[in-house]
Amino acid sequence: PKHAASIDERYGCSTGESSPERHLVAFLRHCVLHPADPREVDICGAWFQTKPPDKWKPSQLGHYPQHWYSHLMHCFEVVGHMHPDDRLRMDANRIYARLVHNMHLIPETRDQMLERLTEDRMAKGTVVS
């Protein structure tokens, strides 16, 4: 098992115990996955966290590639629009809104997201090779 003393932030977002990205990803896992052992949820170093981090700023993620940031942002968008649990959906939506604002974007509505994700590029003739 992981121990707080053995966790080192320089090895990325899954090992930095105090990093906001570590806690955001652990919360995202909780929203979409089932842990193999529920007893390991919410303990120090766990990969699943039932609550989002309290104190974090999107600007703390600025050292990651934009590609990774956008994946994280869009994952929280889907959870924020589609999750069946009200609390998780609202928490994810708040995270999504903060990530969007940090990138100077406009948040998509649920309908806009579904339109984008279900677009039939073959029918529209907009397939990019």
51-107 per-position pLDDT tens digit? 999 899 999 999 999 999 999 999 999 999 999 999 999 999 999 999 999 999 999
DSSP string, 28-94: HHHHH---S-GGGTTSTT-S--SS--SS--GGGGTTS-HHHHHHHHHHHHHHHHH-SSHHHHHHHHH
Domain limits for position 111: 4-119
Only one residue has tokens 């939506």, namely 93
pLDDT (mean) for 111-122 = 93
125 within some domain: no
Q: State percent of the chain over pLDDT 70.
A: 87
83 within some domain: yes
pLDDT score of 1: 43
pTM (2 d.p.):
0.83
107 within some domain: yes
Number of domains in the chain: 1
